[in-house]
Chain A
Amino acid sequence: MDIRILDSHIREFVTTDATPEDIAREVSLRSASVEKVEYLTEDIAYEFEITSNRVDMMGVRGLSKEIAASLTGANIHATYHEEKFKTPETVTHTKHLKIVNDPTLVRRICAVELEVTQKETPEFMKKRLEEANIRPLNILIDITNYVMLEIGHPTHAFDFDQLNTHTMTIRPSKKGEKIMTLDDKEHTLHGGDIMIEDATGRIIDLAGVMGLANSAITDETTRVLFFVDNNDPTHIRKTSMGLGIRTDAAVINEKDVDPELAMTALLRGLELYEKYAQAKVVEEIIDIYPHPVKIKEVSVSFEKINTLIGIDVDGKKAVACLKLLGFDMETTDTGLLVTPPSWRVDDITMDADVVEEIARMIGYHTLPNVLPPYTTAASYHQAKDLFYWERRVRDALKFWGLTEVYTYSMVSKELKEEGKEYYQLSNPLDEQHVFMRQSLTPSLLEVTHLNKGRKDITIFELAKVYPYRKGTLPEERELLGILLHGKFGKFTHMKGVLEQLALDMGIVLNWQTPTQRENILVVPVSIEKEVIGEIHVYPHELVTAEINFELLVGKYAHMKKRYTEASKFPGLEEDITVVIDDAVPTGNIVSDIKRQSDLIKEVSMTSRYNSSRTFHIVYQSDTRNLTTDDITPVREKILSHLKKAFEGEVK
């Protein structure tokens, strides 16, 4: 939470020669981040970012302690001081107020009844409230806000004459109860909110969150019940979030304010009422505080301090800074026995917490940079390193002209497969991102729709999918998805890409006959007998592939090298073009040709046009030079076989 505070206000508590720049810098480095320093005509405004664990810094007083300590840590002279409040004189005992508390809801109540005279709010107060984004209303209300700003504890004021009875009872609300808050808005309660009701059963306060219209201060108010309630923070958060009432009071109260501060806030308010509203105290101050804050000492060894910070800490300076922050301590032979201040009891519970206080006051920015010692390391196996292959495959695809996309892991209902179970978000942000995907292809197809104007699209993605398993986490696995569209949108292009990727991993892929799924041809891609993915061929120059990348790498990829000695005798090469029925698979022809002679080293199809296919054949012997006389009979054997087996005609 950001709070905005004026320099003049801080200097009522801190005496220092530090410039506003000094304050902004040193406090940012050691305490709360100063987000902004703004030079006004007669003052300077700071905006501090206060973390949720430091509600004690949400008031000027608490913050000033930190400022004084931070400046001292930076060797800039600064002292913190706060005035002692005098105990008020009681005038008369005209009324007797009775408060029935529920200590599970409210931890402390300090209250006082006052007779007041309304006057104009003094300028300084108006200005400070306005700078803190609080609208001045009238002096009686302004003082409650000013006390919250200064002391950091929310306070409330009732118009005493609007209370029907002089008994107030704290209780949890019931579901469905209706109230009207002082901003004239109606709320229906969810139950369990902290309420105050009078003896007639009329609800008069939504404690710690907002006052109610029926007991609010007006310009006619002459008697005030100044009321400081310290509430259970969990109840406050539930009420405030549940009803959407995010007042400053609620935001502070839900962060667990120090109950010790309640009396300070009451006394400071009283002082201001006396000074600016000529207040007279009607009745003795009420203080209901059944379970005062218990403070636990924390011990920390010097060894722990030095090990965790990483330097030998100057003990004297550490002690001085801790004292400024409100800590008490005893020095023992081996360490410190620290008593945290009441406003830090929940925050300082173990040695590391104390080390933090010391280290930040020294200044994290003053510590040296030291790399951690490296003593052992797990052995590394590159061939099994998924990240290595990811990078290699990404680079290969990039240099073959493909572009990488990142699509969302969550997909819409339209992108999920019918009849399949999915992990589903219970609180999706929109309809496009609801189901955890089990395939990359629908997302890649969506990318082509997004880029409709493009003729040729070649994209890929490496990402996880989340196959559904009821009642437990999925076995998340990484897939490689590729989409080729346009001039490269053919099966042979996709097959070539996959074969080359596999070859680089030392893998040979197997191809099986396609099956038809509606208007898509599905070609299983396998290694040995295991299917590792599919190619989908669509009607219009579009082909996609999806490969189980984790399986490919984890089980099959290797980096073993093998060397075969080249033959000493040169080979002879020739092309043979034959016309063969289109239904005959090229793979069968190639393997048949190969079987015709041991002299055939290599056979590959180099082109296929209409019904004619051209095969490139390499003849080679390991023992002698071949002449045309050697290969003529082999060629004849090939041709006669092709004729016999496939009715192949030479062209």
Chain B
Amino acid sequence: MQEQLMQLKNDCLSLIIDADDSKTLEQVYLQFLGRSGKLTTLLKELPKLPLEERGPLGRVANEVKTIITDAIAQKQKSLQSSHITKQKSLLDVTDPGIKPPLGHLHLVTQAIDEISAIFEKIGLSRVRYPEIEWDWYAFTALNFPEDHPARDDWETFFMEEEAHKTYGRMILTPHTSSGQIREMQRIKPPVRMINIAKTYRRQSDTRHTQMFHQFEGLVVDKGISITHLRGVLNHFMKSFYGEDRNFRIRPYHFQFTEPSFEVDVDCGVCHGTGKLTNGDTCRVCKGGWMELGGAGMVHPNVLKSVGIDPNEYSGFAFGWGVERCMMMKEGLELNDLRLMYGNSLEFLEQF
């Protein structure tokens, strides 16, 4: 039996040496170690032997098994490595990859996605309200006087529809601020919204399109202050424009906020100095600052128009152009903003 084992070992080892691919090696394994393999069969004989032979033979048999198993594993490794060596000489990494399809999202979508994510981090939830709206929501409730220029035919689009008895003329929203009124009618304070929607103004040139997008933030609660507005603006500025950028708010005038502010971000081109390294005046900004848009504390009359007591609650709001903020961020110098909605695939496929 011992001889048989040795013979078997030698036969097997020579077969392993001769095997020149994994398939042959696999067969060698089955031939010796498979369910009805030679060594397996021999090992089944062991229990039939007298007790005194069983011990030493068993040890030898196990040794043989280990040797064969190791040899096969060893050979497996070397076969794989030579296979991969062969592959290496055939693999041309400069061949083009077979790509899955990849289209493009519109620039405005990309900006809106980022803006909403930034505000959701601090609990301002995204909403969207009507684009065809009554005058009352877009102007009256926002404290615009009857004769305010924004109500003129040459600034806002009006609908060829009869005016509503209570809500006035039907318009195309010139700003997202009408969403402030809709939101405060929908829920009681605390209000924390970011309203992003299409807006429309009667203007079309290289810097304006008659359809554009705005995002409007509104927070109304007890004890909301200018410092809270600053906190939210700071979060947006650092997130959207970068940790190294600064912003400032300065006095301005809007009908629906009191106090009202204009918000500036420092210029990314001249780093807020207004001067380029060669001493020339920076043409991107005004003295180191770029105007982003308006903001303010919600006017008490606006709160009253939706039945919120301004002595109990206060709030802040801001409403800016998506396209404008995006252009300032990317330094994307579009010589004509109308390209944005021109839908030339050559344009769209760049982003």
Contacts and interface: CB of A to CB of B under 8 A. Distances in A.
Contact of B225 (A31, A307, A429): A307
A426 B159 contact: yes
A473 B219 contact: no
Interface string B96-119: 000011111110110001001000
Contacts of B345: 403, 451, 454, 457, 459
B230 to A, nearest CB: 4
B103 A234 contact: no
B190 interface: yes
A66 to B, nearest CB: 10
Contact of B250 (A33, A423, A425, A470): A33
A85 to B, nearest CB: 31
Nearest to B314: A308
A371 B160 contact: no
A515 B98 CA distance: 40
Nearest to B122: A371
B227 A403 contact: no
B202 A405 contact: no
Contact of B226 (A350, A367, A408, A409): A367
Q: Among the interface residues A308, A365, A368, A391, which one has the most CB atoms of the partner chain B within 10 A?
A: A308
A436 interface: yes
Given A372-B219, A404-B106, A399 B100 contact: yes
B297 A365 contact: no
A309 B253 contact: no
A407 B343 contact: yes
Contact of B297 (A352, A424, A429): A352
A407 B202 CA distance: 17
B158 A450 contact: no
Q: Among the interface residues B223, B234, B258, which one has the most CB atoms of the partner chain A within 10 A?
A: B258
Given A352-B299, A409-B131, A450-B343, A402 B221 contact: no
Contact of B348 (A367, A405, A471): A405
Contacts of B190: 375-376
B134 interface: yes
Contacts of B251: 30-32, 356, 360, 364
B216 interface: no
B223 A307 contact: yes
Contacts of A53: 253
A304 to B, nearest CB: 8
A376 B187 CA distance: 13
A310 interface: yes
Given A352-B299, A399-B102, A404-B105, A367 B123 contact: no
Contact of A365 (B125, B249, B343): B249
A432 B235 CA distance: 40
A407 B106 CA distance: 11
Given A450-B343, A471-B161, A473-B132, A369 B231 contact: yes
Contacts of A409: 131, 198, 200, 211
Interface in B149-180: 153-154, 157-162, 164, 170, 172
A397 interface: yes
B339 to A, nearest CB: 11
Given A356-B259, A367-B227, A371-B232, A425 B299 contact: no
A422 to B, nearest CB: 9
Contact of A398 (B102, B123, B260): B102
Give the interface size class of chain B.
35 or more
A429 B259 contact: no
Q: Among the interface residues B106, B226, B251, which one has the most CB atoms of the partner chain A within 10 A?
A: B251
Contact of B204 (A35, A350, A407, A430): A430
A447 interface: yes
Nearest to A463: B198
A433 B262 CA distance: 32
Interface string B204-243: 1000001100000001010111111011111100000000
Give the interface size class of chain A.
35 or more
Contact of A428 (B157, B192, B342): B157
Contacts of B340: 406
A372 B125 CA distance: 14
A429 to B, nearest CB: 5
Contacts of B321: none
Contact of A372 (B106, B202, B203, B224): B224
Contacts of B252: 33, 51
A309 B225 contact: yes
Contacts of B11: none
B256 interface: no
A54 B198 CA distance: 31
B300 interface: yes
B126 interface: yes
A132 B123 CA distance: 48
B211 A54 contact: no
A124 interface: no
A372 B109 contact: no
Interface string A423-456: 1111111100100100000000001001100100
A340 B108 CA distance: 46
Contacts of B126: 387
Interface string B244-282: 000011111100001111100000000000000000000
B248 A424 contact: no
B343 A473 contact: no
Given A31-B251, A399-B101, A352 B226 contact: no
Nearest to B286: A35
A473 B103 contact: no
A407 B100 CA distance: 27
A430 B204 CA distance: 10
A371 B340 CA distance: 34
B134 A473 contact: yes
A188 interface: no
Nearest to A470: B161
B160 A426 contact: yes
Nearest to B116: A387
Interface in A105-130: none
A426 B163 CA distance: 12
A400 interface: yes
Contact of B228 (A371, A387, A430): A371
A436 B103 CA distance: 28
B162 A458 contact: no
Contacts of B342: 450
A426 B225 contact: no
Nearest to B126: A387
Contacts of A397: 103
A466 interface: yes
A464 B160 contact: no
B349 A28 contact: no
A387 to B, nearest CB: 5
Given A52-B253, A365-B248, A399-B102, A352 B259 contact: yes
B103 A429 contact: no
Nearest to B117: A391
Interface string B184-200: 00010010100000101
A371 B253 contact: no
B130 interface: yes
Contacts of A406: 106, 108-109, 340-341, 343
Given A29-B250, A407-B341, 7 more contacts: A352-B299, A360-B259, A365-B250, A373-B221, A397-B103, A450-B343, A466-B131
Q: Which 9 A-B pairs have the closest CB atoms?
A: A401-B101, A310-B225, A310-B227, A356-B259, A51-B253, A369-B234, A371-B231, A372-B228, A424-B160
26 contacts: A28-B250, A37-B287, A308-B226, A308-B297, A350-B300, A352-B299, A352-B300, A352-B310, A355-B259, A356-B251, A370-B225, A371-B122, A372-B192, A374-B122, A376-B190, A378-B187, A400-B103, A403-B349, A404-B105, A406-B108, A406-B341, A423-B161, A428-B157, A433-B210, A433-B211, A450-B344
Interface of A: 24, 28-37, 51-54, 234, 237, 307-311, 350, 352-353, 355-356, 359-360, 364-365, 367-378, 387, 391, 394-395, 397-410, 423-430, 433, 436, 447, 450-451, 454, 457-459, 464, 466, 470-474, 476
